[in-house]
Chains A and B, each alone.
Chain A
Amino acid sequence: MNATSTPAPAVTPASPRLFGLASSMLFDAPFKSLGTLVGVTISVFLMAQQYSLLNGILGRVTSFVNSSGVDIWIVSPATESTDATDTVPVSRIGAAAGTRGVAWAAPVVQGIGTVTRPDGVRENVKVLGVEAPRYAGLPRSLAPGTTPDSLRGSGRLLLNWNDRKTFASAEPGDRIEIDGQASVVAGFFQGMDPHSPFYYVYTNIDDARSLTRFPQDRATYIAIGLEAGASAREVQARLAARIPDVLVKTRDELRDMEERYFLVRTPVGVLFGMGTLVAAIIGAAIVAVTLYSTAIDRARDYGTLKAIGARQRDILQLLLIQAWIFCGAGYVLGMCGFLLVRFHFPELSMVVPPKLVFGVAAAALASCTVASLAAVLRVIRLDPAIVFRA
């Protein structure tokens, strides 16, 4: 470069702050902007709704594991989920109980029976047997008036409070027949709403063995409780080393296994995943089409900005800010709408974990950013000389 009389032009090192300009440009086409905002809002709403419904279903799928208060589960190595498992020898309970960090170890048996509803319909029931006096494996939440000791004595069962209506608004003392054997409703458990074709009932362990012809020397699970302060990971490793012929899973691991099994073995995960993806794509498409069409409409404005000194990165900044404004506003509106629906329809079991809040925000941000690329490319390639054409 020649520098014959004046110094080289100073290139502004940092990007100017163009938020005000970018946001004001959105008001030039208020209806287009409104349409984009509505599109992003609907997209965020659908993503949150689909994802939360899936979470709700997964929460129900894993509610047996989550609601029990058991820290570690010992299961057969041939286990894919609590619905696809085998048995372990009860003789391993002693070894488990003697492991450092273990406060208690207790057997839980699980078998399938056939229950006869009051209307005569026969359906499958999952019978879970828990052992006195600890009743490990029993849900922590019991209906008022029900205690674990309600299962003391034979021929008693706890029914899911959610199934009460199916059993003619059953009350304690009512009789329910499983595989021809009558049991008395001793109370109800709550907080567990399995996504399963089975009814769930809890009995004492001997009744469960009797009802489902379960071998005396086997159990489906060995439930482990940890001593205060003990690390689940460390105790798990000790148990695995001490009892090598079983699978030792922390509560979180068994829950994850349960979720994976459900997602792989049913189309629910794919359906909701597709729903979430389609919602994101719809949002991105709306933003892309609007931003691109606005970029074409406003080619002269962008050309003017380039002619009077805007750099490519300034133009990029303008378009990204506009996409992110749509993203931010659409996210807030979409999430508010979603939370409103969730509040009014609690029966839909829409669960909102933190990863949903951040995940949907990240997905909206990514889709809006990707959507702005077409407009960015269009404007970046724009020849500023167009401003000299009438």
Chain B
Amino acid sequence: MTPDTALPVAIEARGVGKVFGEGELASRVLHPTDLQVRRGEVLVIMGPSGSGKTTLLSILGLVLTPTEGEVLVGGWSAATASADQLAALRRDRMGFVFQQFNLLPSLSALDNAAVPLLLAGVPKAERTARALRALELVDMGDKRAARPRLLSGGQQQRVAIARALVNDAPVLLCDEPTASLDGTTGAAILATLRRLAHDGNRAIVIVTHDERVLSIADRLVRVVDGNVHAGNEQSAVVEAAS
């Protein structure tokens, strides 16, 4: 599986690396890496615990500043963006799906899905209509009034996906989206993600340990000891950018 270069690049890492700490305590967790993810593509990042894959996802998601390199979202460099601009990029051009779902427990499914729109200052009527559409996209329209504690893990993850979709973001970043789900529910979530990538023309990045996720991967990268190895499962190691 190779990326279709005719598709536009949704998010790109150029030479991004990360070192935590300073001086003798400095610890490199991610070597300088180049990575492109195109719209309509599902990129899966795998690797053992502590390999640096979550660091890579955090950098791609603009919640962690790389020590070197830059991230471009839709061709726009976030390297010198202000904190407010980074927040706006995350809010408007990215969607996040977390392992623990991270829904706000006091809000209904509909209100949870609408949070990014609330933060964007979208009027209530429009917010409600768009959040409902997002819930229907993940087959959760009939559960819109339910609080998270009344939903199963799979249902909560669907609401989280709806929240990630509600701003029509071109990039979805998923952190272990199936780790807290049983096999059947996990498979259903993966089918949803693949549909969203291919039919919705979104770039989806999934960090996972779960081999099942490979079934929807258009491309796989493995991260080992902070080195990113690109290609499919049989691919040779690709030199990380220096």
**Most B Cβ at <10 Å: residue of A5, A15, A388:** A388
Check if B61 is an interface residue, CB within 8 A of chain A.
Answer: yes
* Cβ-defined contact, A387 with B102, below 8 A: yes
> Known contacts A304-B102, A390-B99: does B80 contact A309 (CB below 8 Å)?
no
Binds B, one of A18-26, A56-64, A326-334: A18-26
* Cβ-defined contact, B118 with A16, below 8 A: yes
Total A-B Cβ pairs within 8 A? 132
Question: Considering the chains assembled together, what is the distance between the CA atoms of A4 and B71 in angstroms?
Answer: 13
Question: Considering the chains assembled together, what is the distance between the CA atoms of A388 and B60 in angstroms?
Answer: 12
Check if A339 is an interface residue, CB within 8 A of chain B.
Answer: no
Residue of A nearest to B82 (CB): A11
* Cβ-defined contact, B102 with A10, below 8 A: no
> Known contacts A308-B163, A310-B87, A389-B54: does B175 contact A24 (CB below 8 Å)?
no
A26 CB → nearest B CB, Å: 8
Residue of B nearest to A304 (CB): B102
Interface residues of A in 1-15 (CB under 8 A from B): 1-12, 14-15
* Cβ-defined contact, A390 with B106, below 8 A: no
Check if A132 is an interface residue, CB within 8 A of chain B.
Answer: no
* Cβ-defined contact, A12 with B88, below 8 A: yes
* Cβ-defined contact, A18 with B75, below 8 A: no
* Residue-wise interface mask of B (5-28) relative to A, using a CB-CB cutoff of 8 A (1 in contact, 0 not): 000000000000000000000000
A209: chain B residues at CB < 8 Å are none
* Cβ-defined contact, B75 with A4, below 8 A: yes
B150 CB → nearest A CB, Å: 15
Tell me which of B75, B81, B119, B120 contacts A6 (CB under 8 A). Answer: B75
* Cβ-defined contact, A6 with B74, below 8 A: yes
Question: Considering the chains assembled together, what is the distance between the CA atoms of A169 and B184 in angstroms?
Answer: 92
Question: Considering the chains assembled together, what is the distance between the CA atoms of A1 and B99 in angstroms?
Answer: 33
* Cβ-defined contact, B76 with A387, below 8 A: no
Check if B104 is an interface residue, CB within 8 A of chain A.
Answer: yes
Check if B93 is an interface residue, CB within 8 A of chain A.
Answer: yes
A25: chain B residues at CB < 8 Å are 104, 106
* Cβ-defined contact, A309 with B87, below 8 A: yes
B176: chain A residues at CB < 8 Å are 390
* Cβ-defined contact, B76 with A2, below 8 A: yes
Question: Considering the chains assembled together, what is the distance between the CA atoms of A352 and B51 in angstroms?
Answer: 67
* Cβ-defined contact, B119 with A305, below 8 A: yes
B99: chain A residues at CB < 8 Å are 390
B88: chain A residues at CB < 8 Å are 9-12, 309
Check if A231 is an interface residue, CB within 8 A of chain B.
Answer: no
A34 CB → nearest B CB, Å: 15
A27: chain B residues at CB < 8 Å are 106
Interface residues of B in 83-128 (CB under 8 A from A): 83-85, 87-93, 95-96, 98-100, 102, 104-107, 111, 115-116, 118-121
* Cβ-defined contact, A6 with B85, below 8 A: no
> Known contacts A310-B87, A388-B54: does B121 contact A14 (CB below 8 Å)?
yes
Tell me which of A2, A10, A384 contacts B77 (CB under 8 A). Answer: A2
* Cβ-defined contact, A11 with B90, below 8 A: no
Tell me which of A12, A21, A384 contacts B121 (CB under 8 A). Answer: A12
Report, as a range, how many residues of chain A touch the other chain. Answer: 35 or more
* Cβ-defined contact, A306 with B84, below 8 A: no
B204 CB → nearest A CB, Å: 16
Check if A314 is an interface residue, CB within 8 A of chain B.
Answer: yes
Check if A307 is an interface residue, CB within 8 A of chain B.
Answer: yes
Question: Considering the chains assembled together, what is the distance between the CA atoms of A350 and B57 in angstroms?
Answer: 63
Check if B179 is an interface residue, CB within 8 A of chain A.
Answer: yes
Check if A245 is an interface residue, CB within 8 A of chain B.
Answer: no
A346 CB → nearest B CB, Å: 44
Check if B238 is an interface residue, CB within 8 A of chain A.
Answer: no
* Cβ-defined contact, A301 with B102, below 8 A: yes
Check if B185 is an interface residue, CB within 8 A of chain A.
Answer: no
* Residue-wise interface mask of B (49-75) relative to A, using a CB-CB cutoff of 8 A (1 in contact, 0 not): 000001001100101100000001111
* Cβ-defined contact, B92 with A1, below 8 A: no
* Cβ-defined contact, B90 with A24, below 8 A: no
> Known contacts A9-B88, A307-B96: does B63 contact A4 (CB below 8 Å)?
no
Check if A154 is an interface residue, CB within 8 A of chain B.
Answer: no
> Known contacts A8-B76, A9-B89, A310-B87: does B100 contact A390 (CB below 8 Å)?
yes
B87: chain A residues at CB < 8 Å are 11, 306, 309-311
21 A-B residue pairs with Cβ-Cβ distance under 8 Å, sorted by A, are A3-B76, A5-B76, A6-B73, A9-B89, A11-B88, A12-B119, A15-B121, A16-B120, A24-B111, A25-B104, A27-B106, A306-B63, A307-B63, A309-B88, A309-B116, A309-B120, A311-B84, A385-B64, A388-B98, A388-B175, A390-B176
Of all A-B residue pairs in the complex, the 8 with the closest CB atoms, nearest first, are A309-B91, A5-B75, A6-B74, A9-B88, A2-B77, A304-B102, A4-B75, A16-B121
With A9-B89, A21-B118, A384-B63 given, name 17 new contacts (CB 8 A): A1-B80, A2-B77, A7-B76, A8-B85, A9-B76, A10-B92, A12-B119, A16-B120, A17-B121, A308-B96, A309-B90, A310-B91, A310-B119, A388-B61, A388-B63, A388-B98, A389-B54
Interface residues of A (CB under 8 A from B): 1-12, 14-18, 21, 24-28, 300-301, 304-312, 314, 383-385, 387-390
